[in-house]
Chain A
Amino acid sequence: MTSSTLLPAFAPATSTSETDTNLALAGQLLSLLRTTATEPRPDEQLEALTLAVAADLPVLLWGEPGIGKTAALTQLATSLDLPLTTVIASVHEPSDFSGLPIVGDDPAVQGVPMAPPQWAVELVRAGRGLLFLDELSTATPAVQAALLRVVLERRVGTLQLPPGVRIVAAANPRASAADGWELSPPLANRFVHLNWVHDRDVVVRGLGGVWPRAELPRLAPERLSESVAFARHAVCGFLKARPTLIHRLPGSETRRGGAWPSPRSWEAALTLLAFGTAASVSRDVLALLVRGAVGDGPGLELLAHHDRMDLPDPESLLADPAAAELPERGDLRQAALEAVVAAVGARPERHRWEAGWAVLVRAMETGAPDLLVAPATALAGLRRDDWEVPEVVERLAGVVGLVRTADRSVERVAAAADARRATGARR
């Protein structure tokens, strides 16, 4: 559309040259203000965003207005070398996304074509680009419904967006969008949800002239097939153990509009796990992505399962107890020892039982002894009548002393409580 209004002519200036110098000075000042440096700085949320965009999953950034979502998108587009197209969803109508019907001479013969808007045509012509749908949560329900097709089928009217186009959306959280609509569960399920927050230090340093430059994760070519196998193993193993989590519509009012588990979002989580592994990102980035795809609860459970997968294999610990490498962290170490005891219990044979004791002794020598109490008690419970207690068990004497001290202390407390109750009753 061409604008028919013209700018009014300037009032006659006192002198043309003076205006010019003033404007030139203003220009100089502005260019000085805009000259900023960058410094490398790890940024988890930007890493997560890059990975999800690389994995061709639609991302939804939740953040307060003015927090720098658009700036982050600009940086991402530069670093991925993609042209950025911003579409503010809330000022559009459904037909802008589903195509504008154009009535020809004889609709019965020709049909009514659904004409795509200009930005879509340009995106298709370029063949690649970053489509940024801003203000998603303030778009009306009808616009959101039309956007479903753009996000899922990548269709705008009759146009099919080429595979080189990546989609990122942004929304304001319900608390700050005073008159916003909430996202419908089907639309929410198609996105990887990322919370966008600002870091005080980054803002202060950036206003001082130095903005961060994130090191974007790179996929390692030699790890591709390995990552796919790993991600499939992790997700399938987890869902086999927790089948109720495969599909769970958000039940409570608090969960609406956010991520929730469904086969579609589990597929997204699988993709993200594979990408994260191939790019060797940190656990924190992986956690952001997985929780953003399937929701906090299921995401955390998957990650906990993932942690357990990292524990040493109980059978190999039993095979060579002397060289057993146990995790450093107490709770994981205890989990590994409990897995060993469970393995012995699953196939109770005398040599396996003795190897189990050897693993416990090894744990005693390399870490805190109080972790051993529960596994040792369980292992002792597996004894058959004709099995003699192996000699190595004597080296666990320290554990027995510890248990005795703790028991005495528990008893003292119980006795004191009884005594207090008795005096209370007498009063």
Chain B
Amino acid sequence: MSPPAPPRPVRATPPQRPDRHGGADDRIKLPLDWEKLLAARLHAVKVRPYLADALFALHVVEDRAVPTMAVDAHWRCYVSPAFVARTPVEELAGIWVHEVSHLLRDHHGRSERYAREHEESGPGERLRRNIAADFEINDDIYGDGLPRPFGAVVPSLLRLPDGLLMEEYLRTASMSGLAAELAWLDCGSGADGHDRAWELGPDGANGLTRQQQDAVRFRVAEGIKGRPGHAPEGWRRWADEAFQPPQPWRQLLGAAVRSAAGAPGVGENHTYRRPSRRSSSVPGVVLPSLRRTPPRVCVVIDTSGSVSDAELGSALLEVAAISRAVGGRRDLVSVISCDAAAGVAVPLCRAESLELLGGGGTDLRSGFARALRSRPRPDVIVALTDGQTPWPSGQPPCRTVVGLFPRPARATDEDDPDYVPDTPPSWARVVIIG
């Protein structure tokens, strides 16, 4: 399972704090200052109570080969006694949270997947992944009682924006400028998925199995979701997505339109209206035949001011592509632009220069009414909207798919600050776009 241990990256000495007796510590065999290390963990638990389960689940291993602190994929935490001795408690607390974040955010699994997909291995690439993982963590865990440790790498070092994911940092930046200075940086296999010489490996004692790791992650995520007010935005987003990874909306929208268009009664299905081609060989047996009735798809587009042109363009292209794939001929796809009042249904085949009119407030009810009035009646209505609209009170007599552009939940009506738009009705299949 585990490949032979990779060559250790060439590591210069970590940057020493200028004002402290740094270099001397490494030469003297210091015992690990457990009290300081655990007090730091306590500090971390005090300021980030929702991470307590994960912090306590780490098994601490004292190791002189580790440059600073590192974690492995089995939730062991390797600690250098010299590093603990020369680092203040409050910074150690930040490093505890940093290391446990690598594990909670599954950087080892994601990093391995990235390496496999891009066929990037070797010490330089590993370091690059470690830096990208650190960027993802360091831009949002510090502050609010947790100081950023000396020498922590942040995206602004490379003039990159905050708040991206590890994979996005890896894609956008080469990080070659940093690699030489940061060759000492090493958060262990927990950060980049590659085993290190000092690690105990999967058979060592006190590791967590995958199921146990999932259980800890799950408890932390539930804790954050249970008291969302206490956790910052980045952690809340993580908790929401930890066990329900966001799915590509294109595929979801495609599946929704496809299954709406293909549900019994519409689209391709079996029928007894026409004899089956197999019938001639088996006389006396009644066989159904496969018959395709291309679905008519009517796209109602919310053209009110709150939906951006880019959003509309991408979603409309997608619907057209999908409905073609379903078998809807281009002339069976029509588009209605709708703000407070609905426009006319324009068939997509004539819509090379499709104009989406509108810009005011929204009332999708008129769009639905217009779609249902058109003859022949559509089999599927796809509504693309940001959801800040009244919805029809009853279920329309055809399948409905709502592509929803996400908006932060806040009051939109200035006259009535308590106004909250209705959520899409339960009879529609809702796909969050973007």
Contact = CB atoms under 8 A, between A and B. Distances in A.
Contact of B54 (A102, A331, A371, A403): A331
Contact of B38 (A100, A255, A333, A402): A402
Q: Select the residue from A200, A301, A370 with max chain B CB neighbours within 10 A.
A: A370
B307 interface: no
Closest 5 CB pairs of A and B: A330-B56, A405-B39, A406-B42, A287-B211, A409-B89
Interface residues of A: mostly helix, strand, loop or mixed?
helix
A297 B243 contact: yes
Interface stretch (A71-79, A347-355, A411-419): A411-419
Interface string B24-61: 00000000000110111111011100001111111110
Contacts of B212: 283, 307
B251 A181 contact: no
Nearest to A184: B259
Given A142-B264, A334-B56, A413-B145, A253 B431 contact: yes
B288 A300 contact: no
Interface in A76-118: 93-95, 100-104, 115
Nearest to A146: B270
Contacts of B268: 140
Contacts of A287: 210-211, 214
A241 B251 CA distance: 36
B430 interface: yes
A222 interface: no
A391 interface: no
A249 B55 CA distance: 34
Nearest to B34: A368
B47 A328 contact: no
Nearest to A94: B270
Contacts of A334: 52, 56
Contacts of B90: 409-410, 412-413
A254 B247 contact: yes
A401 B38 CA distance: 11
A304 B218 CA distance: 9
A174 interface: yes
B93 interface: yes
Contacts of A303: 211, 215
15 contacts: A103-B286, A141-B264, A179-B325, A253-B256, A254-B244, A301-B218, A329-B206, A330-B56, A334-B56, A369-B38, A373-B45, A405-B89, A409-B43, A413-B145, A417-B145
B250 to A, nearest CB: 10
A284 B210 CA distance: 7
Contacts of B46: 406-407, 410
A267 interface: no
Contacts of A178: 325
Contact of B251 (A174, A328, A368, A374): A174
Contacts of A13: none
A408 B214 CA distance: 34
A407 B47 CA distance: 10
B147 interface: yes
Contact of B287 (A95, A282, A307): A95
A182 B259 contact: yes
Contact of A410 (B36, B43, B256, B269): B43
Interface of B: 1, 35-36, 38-43, 45-47, 52-60, 88-90, 93, 116, 145-147, 206, 208-212, 214-216, 218-219, 243-244, 246-248, 251-252, 255-256, 258-259, 262-264, 268-270, 276, 281-282, 284-288, 290, 325, 429-432
Contacts of A153: none
A307 B209 CA distance: 13
A281 to B, nearest CB: 11
Contacts of A103: 284-286
A256 B244 CA distance: 12
Given A141-B264, A329-B59, A370 B258 contact: no
A325 interface: no
Interface in A373-427: 373-374, 398, 401-403, 405-410, 412-414, 416-417
Given A142-B270, A254-B252, A330-B57, 20 more contacts: A1-B281, A93-B270, A140-B268, A141-B263, A179-B258, A181-B259, A252-B244, A254-B246, A256-B255, A283-B212, A284-B211, A296-B244, A304-B218, A333-B56, A368-B56, A398-B35, A406-B89, A408-B89, A409-B93, A413-B47
A216 B74 CA distance: 26
A201 interface: yes
A371 B56 contact: yes
Contact of A331 (B36, B57, B251): B57
Interface residues of A, number: 68
A175 interface: yes
A175 B35 contact: no
B147 A416 contact: yes
A296 B248 contact: no
Contacts of B276: 93
A94 B329 CA distance: 27
Nearest to A329: B57
B270 A402 contact: no
A140 B270 contact: yes
A304 B219 contact: yes
A83 B56 CA distance: 50
Contacts of A410: 43, 46-47, 90, 145
B215 A307 contact: yes
A414 B90 CA distance: 11
Contact of B243 (A141, A253, A286, A300): A300
A282 B256 CA distance: 38
Contacts of B246: 254
Contacts of A304: 215, 218-219
A251 B40 CA distance: 42
A296 B256 CA distance: 22
Interface string A238-255: 000000000000001111
| Most chain A beta-carbon neighbours within 10 Å: one of B58, B59, B60, B212 | B212
A371 B41 CA distance: 10
Contact of B56 (A140, A283, A331, A409): A331
Between A252, A282, A300, A403, the greatest number of chain B beta carbons within 10 A of the residue's beta carbon is seen for A300
Nearest to A368: B38
A300 to B, nearest CB: 4
B59 to A, nearest CB: 7
Given A181-B258, A370-B42, A101 B243 contact: no
Contacts of B284: 102-104
Contacts of A296: 243-244
Contacts of A282: 209
A406 B39 contact: yes
